[in-house]
Structure 1
Amino acid sequence: MDLWQSLLACLYWAATWFLIGLFGVVLAYLCYVHYIHLKFDHIPGPPRDSFLFGHGPSLQRSMEDYKLIHDKFLEWSEKYGPVVRLNVLHRVSIIVTHPETIKEFLMSPKYPKDPYTYDLLFNLFGKRFLGRGLLTDTDHRHWYMQRRVMDPSFSHSYLVGLMDVFNEKAEHLMEKLRELSDGETPVGMHSKLNCVTLEVITTVAFGMQLNLLDGARSPFPHAISMILKGISHYVQNPYMQYLPQHRPFVKEVWDSLELLRSTGKRCIEERKRAVKNGEDVPRDILSNILKSAEQEGEYDDGLMLDNFITFFIAGQETTANLIAFVIMELTRQPEIRTKLQAEVDEVVGLKSDVTADDIGRLQYMNQVIKETLRLYPPGPGTSRWLSQEMVIEGIKVPGGVSVIFNTYIMGRMAKFFDDPLNFDPERFHPNAPKPYYCYFPFALGPRSCLGQVFAQMEAKVILSKFLQRFDFRHAPGQTYEIMDTGTLRPRDGAMCILTPRSESSKG
C-alpha cells in the first residue's frame, strides 16, 4: 500500500511540475508575442482578430473555397497605405506597395527570398517537393550557381530553335478545337490549354511524349492538379497531415508528388546513362542542362530533380493560365479581339506555322498579354527578407520581418494605373509611359522568372493560331471570377463557344 501511495505521490508531483513547466512555456511565449506587438504595432495595419492569432482568422476566411487572399491585401493596402503590418502568432509580415522600395529589394541581390515562405515549399506535407531548386533557394550564391547552369537553355536564341515544337503542339490543339467548334458546344479552354502546355514542356524539356490531346490516359494532369491544391491547403495549414480527417487528401498529394519525382529521377538517370554510352539523345533542355552542369560540381541529381518538378508544374500551369485569361477577357472585349485578329491576319496571314520573326512583329498582342498580366498575374507576388531595420515611406520597420510585394495589388490600384479595372492594352503601347516598379508579373531583377521568354513565345504561338482560326464567345452561365490554387486561374475554366472563322473574315 505504501508503495502505491509513494508512486501516486510521485505521479502527482511529476504532473504538477509538468503543468507548471508547461504554464511557464505558454506564459513565456505569450510574453514574446506581446513583445512582438510592442515592437511592430507602430506600423499601420488592420485591427488584429485576436491577441494570439492576429490577423490569421481574417486571412483564413479570405482563402476559403480558393478565394483570393490578394483581394484582402488590396483592401488593406488601399485603406492603410504603402506599408501594412500583418500578425499571425509571433510572426510579422509587411505588405509594401511603395515603388522605390520594390526597386531597392527586387533589383538588389542583398535581400534574400523570405526563408519562412520558401523553406515551407522544400517539403509538401513532409515529403520533399521543390527542395532547393531555383524557385525556393534562399542562398544567393547557391542560387546563382544554378542560374548559370539553367540560363543557356532559356536564352532567346536557344528558344527560337524550339519554335517547331511550339507550332506542332499548337497546331494539334487547333485540330482538336475545330472538332468542337460547332457554335453550340461549350469548350473548357483552360483544360485544353493545360494539356497542350504540359505536352510542350515535357517534350522540349525532357523528351517525353504524352499525347494528351489525343485522349491518351496520363496520370500527370491529375497529379499536377492535386499538388497545386495541396500547396494551397499546406500554406494555410502545414499541420493538416496529422489530422485523421485529412489523411486521404494528404495521401493523394503524396502519391502525386511521388509520381512526378520518380518520373523525373528515371528521366535524368536514363539520359545520363545514354550520354555516358555515347548514344544519340534529344537536343532538349535536359540534355542542355546536363552539358552545362558538368562545369558545376555542386549541381547534383537532387538539385536537377528539384528543378524538374519546378519546370513540370510552373512551366505548364502558369502559361496555360495566362492564355486562358487572355481568351476569357477577349470574350468581353470585341473591339480589342477584332484589332488583335487583324494584326494576326496581317503578320501571320494564312500560314500554318508562326515564326520567331512573326512573334517579334505582333506588337498589339504583346500589349494585350502585358495588360492581361497586370489584371490577372498567374504568379501574383514574391517576398524578401529584411534582416536589419529600414525606413520605408517614413515608417521605421525593424529587422527580422518578411516583406511582401504583390503585382496583383499594385496592378489594381488607381494610384498606379488610371481606371485600373478597365482592360486597356494601350497602357503598354511602346510610346506610353512605362510603369515604375509597380508591375512585375515575372518579378524583377536578378531573380526574375527564368521562363518568362519561354512562356511568352509559347503563348503568342498558341494565341496566333487560335485567333487565326476561331471566333469565340463566353459560354452562358460562366463567370469572369478568379480562383487561387497556388497560382491564379479562371474559376470557371474559361468555357467558350467556338465558331470557325471564314476565309473572307481574314481579309
Structure 2
Amino acid sequence: MLLRFGSVPVLVVSSAETAREVMKTHDTNFSNRPPFKAMSKLCYGCKDVTSSPYGEYWRQIRSIFVLQMLSNKRVRSFGCIREEEAALLVKRIEGCVDVLAPVDLRRLIEDLNGQVIFRSSFGRRYSETENGKKFLRLIRVFMGLVGEIYVGDFIPWLGWIGRVNGFDKRIDTTAKEIDQILESVIQDRQHLVKAKGKTEGEEQEEEDFLDILLQIYNQDASMDRDTVKALLVDVFVGGTDSISTSLEWIMSELLRHPRVMEKLQSEVRGVVKQKKHITQDDLEKMDYMKAVIKENMRLHPTFPLSPRLASKDVQIKGYDVAAGTMMMVNIWAIGRELVSWDDPDKFMPERFLNSSRDFKGQDFEFIPFGTGRRGCPGIRYATATMELVLANLMQKFDWNLPNGILPKHLDMTESSGIAPNKVVPLLALASHPQ
C-alpha cells in the first residue's frame, strides 16, 4: 500500500512474502532508517545502533553490541542479577497476598526491569537514586517523543511548527537532561577506576555495559564519548519499556485464558518441583512457556512497525520503488496474516509446539524482533528476563482478576505510539497455590 506523507512516499508492507523481499533479498538497499528529527536529536546525531546510517561505523558499533555486550555468555553472566530481582518481585507480591490487595503488575514489572537494566548497565541500583528515577522517566519521555508525528520530517517547509507547539523544546530539554545524567555516571566510573588504580583494558570480575564501553573508548580513538552515551541510550530504550510491556501483555492474555495459565503453571511447577529458585537449566525445559511468549509476541509485537529507507531505485514484486521511499514493515499485520496462521486473532500457544517457527529472523511470518541487518541484537537479553520473571509468577502464585471481573471483560485496549502498551494498567489478585 503506497501512501504519501507530505513529500515522502511511504510504502506499507503487510505480508511475509513481501517482507522477505525487503528484509532479505534487498536487505542492503533497505538497511537505512528514515532520518527522523527526534531520533537524531536524542541519539547524539544518530550515533546509536538503532538509527545510525548503514556503513562502516554502524558495523563497528553493532559488532560491539552483538559480540561484547549482548553475547550469550554476557547475557548468562547477568543471571544472578535477574534472579535476585525476581526474588524481590516475589516478596513484594507476597506482601500484597498477605493483605488481600490487588497487585499492580505494570508497576512491579517496570520496577524489576528498571533494576535489572541499571545493574547490568552500571553495576548498581541507580534506579533507587533521584537521578536514576529521573533517567527512567526521561526514557519514557524519549519513547513518547519518537512516537509522535513531527510534521517537519514529512513536510520540511512546515518544520517551524515544532518551534511553535513546543515539540523542539521538549526534544532539546530531554536530550540535555539525558546527557547530563549519563555524563555524571561516566565521570563517576572513571574516577572510581582511577582511584582503584585500574589500568586500561584490565578486566574486572563482573563487567557491566559501562565497563565494556569505557574499555573500548580508552583503547579505540575512533570511538568518542557521544558514541558511549548513544549506545547506553540504546540499551535502556530497547530493554526497559519493551520487556515490561511484553510481560504485562503476557499476563493479560493468561488471565483472559485460564486454561492456558493452568497448563503453563502445571509445566513450570512440574519442572521446578519443590526447589525455591528457578535455574537456567529449568527454563530450558519449559517448552510451553516459550510457546506462550512466542504467541504473545505474535499478537503484541513490541514495535509493530519497522521503518526502513530505500537507498536506491529497486523493484519489489514487479513494482518500481524509488530511492528515498520510506518502507514500513507492518509486523503486527504479518503476525495475523491468514495465509500464515490459523485463527490468527486467537491466543493459542499450542501453535508453536512441535513447530520450528522462531523469532530469530529466519521465519518472515513471525518477526517481532525484526530481521536482517537491522534486526534487534537484544533477543537473548529480552527473552532471558521474560522467561525468568514469567516462570516465577507461575510457580509461586495463582492469579485471578479483581473485583469479580470476568476474563472476557478484561480491557485489552492498546495505546498509540511506537511501542503500544495497555491503556489500562493490569491489576490482578495473587494467591498462594493450594
Specify if TM > 0.5.
yes
Of 399-408 and 99-108, the range deviating more from structure 2? 99-108
> Which residue does 1:489 correspond to in 2?
421
Tell me, in whole angstroms, the C-alpha distance in 2 between the residues paired with 1:216 and 1:290.
21
For 1:489, give the aligned amino acid: N
Look up the match of 2:23: 106
Establish whether residue 267 from structure 1 lines up as the match of residue 191 from structure 2: no
Aligned to 1:442: 369
Between stretches 373-382 and 396-405, larger displacement belongs to 396-405
Q: Secondary structure at the match of 1:199?
A: helix
Secondary structure of the 1:133 match is coil
Match of 1:456 in 2: 383
Partner of 2:215: 291
Asked if 1 retains the 8 angstrom alpha-carbon contact of 2:50 and 2:234, the reply is yes
Cα drift, residue 230 of structure 1: 2.5
Query: How many Å separate the matches in 1 of 2:45 and 2:432?
Result: 42
Shift of residue 470, structure 1, vs aligned partner: 1.4
- 1-structure distance, mates of 2:75, 2:433: 30
SS in 2 for 1:307: helix
1:281–1:268 distance in 2 versus 1, CA, 3 Å? farther
Q: Paired residue for 1:398?
A: 322
Structure 1 runs not aligned, ≥5 long: 1-83, 503-507
Give 3-state SS (helix, strand or coil) of 1:136's partner: coil
Corresponding residue SS for 1:404: strand
User: Quick one: distance in 2 between partners of 1:375 and 1:145?
Assistant: 33
The answer for unaligned runs of 5 or more in structure 2 is 154-158, 199-203
Tell me the SS of whatever aligns to 2:306: strand
Deviation at 1:229, TM superposition (A): 2.4
Q: Contact conserved, 1:150 with 1:289, CA < 8 A, in 2?
A: no
Q: Structure 1 residues 99 and 232 mapped into 2: Cα distance closer, same or farther (>3 Å)?
A: closer
Q: Distance in 2 between matches of 1:176 and 1:216?
A: 23
Q: Alpha-carbon deviation of 1:241?
A: 3.9
Q: Report the structure number with the largest CA radius of gyration.
A: 1
* d(CA) in 1 for partners of 2:317, 2:170: 46
The partner residue of 1:181 within 86, 97, 106 is: 97
User: Any conservation in 1 of the 2:113–2:244 contact (CA below 8 Å)?
Assistant: yes
> Do the aligned partners of 1:474 and 1:494 also contact (CA within 8 Å) in 2?
no
8 Å CA contact 2:401–2:429 kept in 1: the answer is yes
Counterpart AA for 1:361: K
1:366 and 2:290 aligned: yes
Corresponding residue number in structure 2 for 1:378: 302
2: distance between equivalents of 1:349 and 1:466? 14
- Over residues 475-507 of structure 1, what are the superposed CA-to-partner deviations in whole Å (9 max), with x where a residue is unaligned? 4475111113321211112222222223xxxxx
Q: Which amino acid aligns with 2:23?
A: L
TM-score (norm 1): 0.74
Measure, in 1, the Cα distance between the counterparts of 2:218 and 2:22: 32
Q: Does 1:137 align with 2:64?
A: no
Q: For CA contacts below 8 A with separation 6 or more, give which structure has more relative contact order.
A: 2
* 1:113–1:384 Cα contact (<8 Å) kept: yes
| One-letter amino acid matched to 1:340 | L
2:399 & 2:131 partners in 1: Cα distance? Answer: 27
SS state at 1:320 partner: helix
Further displaced range: 287-296 or 459-468:
287-296
- Compute the displacement of 1:440 (Å): 0.8
Task: Report the secondary structure of 1:496's partner residue.
Answer: strand
When residues 227 and 120 of structure 1 are mapped into structure 2, their CA distance, relative to the original with a 3 A threshold, is closer
**What secondary structure, in the 3-state scheme, does the structure 1 residue paired with 2:384 have?**
helix
Does the residue aligned with 2:418 lie in a helix, a strand or coil?
coil
Q: 1:284 to 1:436 in 2, by over 3 A?
A: closer
Q: Does 1:470 align with 2:386?
A: no
Cα offset, 1:199, TM superposition:
0.7
> Greater CA deviation, 355-364 or 454-463?
355-364
Deviates more, 1:165-174 or 1:472-481: 472-481
1:207 to 99, 123, 127: 123
User: Residue type matched to 1:462 in 2?
Assistant: V
Deviation at 1:352, TM superposition (A): 3.1
SS at match of 2:58: helix
Greater shift in the superposed pair: 140-149 or 315-324 = 140-149
Matches of 1:281 and 1:490, distance apart in 2: 40
Distance change >3 Å, CA 352–CA 485, structure 1 → 2: farther
Is the partner of 1:384 in helix, strand or coil? Answer: strand
SS in structure 2 at match of 1:484? coil
Instruction: List per-residue Cα deviations over 1:230-259 (Å, max 9, x = no partner).
Output: 23335467755422xx44x87566544433
In the superposition, relative to structure 1, how do residues 211 and 294 fare at CA in structure 2: closer, same or farther (>3 Å)?
Answer: closer
Q: Partner of 2:4 in structure 1? A: 87
In 2, distance between residues paired with 1:460 and 1:133?
A: 27
Match of 1:422 in 2: 346
Alpha carbons of structure 1 residues 210 and 110: separation in structure 2 relative to 1, 3 Å:
same
| 1:436–1:478 Cα change, 3 Å | closer
**In structure 2, what residue type is equivalent to 1:493?**
P
CA distance in 2, matches of 1:309, 1:217: 13
Pairwise CA distance, 1:103: 2.4
Amino acid at match of 1:205: S
Q: Which moved more, 1:99-108 or 1:440-449?
A: 99-108
Query: Is 2:154 aligned against 1:226?
Result: no
From the superposition, tell whether residues 236 and 170 of structure 1 become closer, same or farther in structure 2 (CA, over 3 Å).
farther
Greater Cα offset, 357-366 or 259-268: 259-268
- TM-aligned CA distance change 1:119 to 1:439, over 3 Å: farther
Secondary structure at the counterpart of residue 455 of structure 1: helix
Offset at 1:447?
2.5
d(CA) in 1 for partners of 2:338, 2:45: 36
In 2 relative to 1, CA 307–383 (structure 1 residues): closer, same or farther, beyond 3 Å? same
Deviation at 1:87, TM superposition (A): 0.8
Higher mean C-alpha deviation, range 444-453 or range 315-324: 444-453
Instruction: Tell me the CA shift for residue 417 of structure 1.
Output: 1.2
Counterpart-to-counterpart distance in 1, 2:328 and 2:187: 38
Q: 1:344 to 1:183 in 2, by over 3 A?
A: farther
Instruction: Give the Cα–Cα distance (whole angstroms) in 1 for the partners of residues 29 and 390 of structure 2.
Output: 37
Q: Which moved more, 1:327-336 or 1:152-161?
A: 152-161
The 1:350/1:211 distance shift into structure 2, 3 A limit, reads farther
Structure 1 Cα separation of the partners of residues 228 and 184 of structure 2: 12
The Cα of 1:91 is off from its aligned counterpart by 1.1
1:237 and 1:390, CA in 2 relative to 1: closer, same or farther beyond 3 A?
closer
| Counterparts in 2 of 1:182 and 1:472: CA distance versus 1, 3 Å | farther
1:396 is paired with a residue of what secondary structure? strand
- Give the match for residue 69 of structure 2: 153
Partner SS for 2:332: helix
Q: Taking structure 2 as the reference length, what is the TM-score of the superposition?
A: 0.86
Residue 260 of structure 1, CA deviation:
2.6
For 1:150-172, what per-residue CA distance to the aligned partner results, in whole angstroms no more than 9, with x for missing partners? 22221111211111100101111
Q: Distance in 2 between matches of 1:190 and 1:209?
A: 19
SS at match of 2:231: helix
Q: Which amino acid aligns with 2:103?
A: V
Structure 1: distance between partners of 2:209 and 2:22: 31
- Give the deviation of 1:174 after TM superposition: 1.2
Q: Structure 1 residues 140, 360: CA separation in 2 closer, same or farther (over 3 Å shift)? A: farther
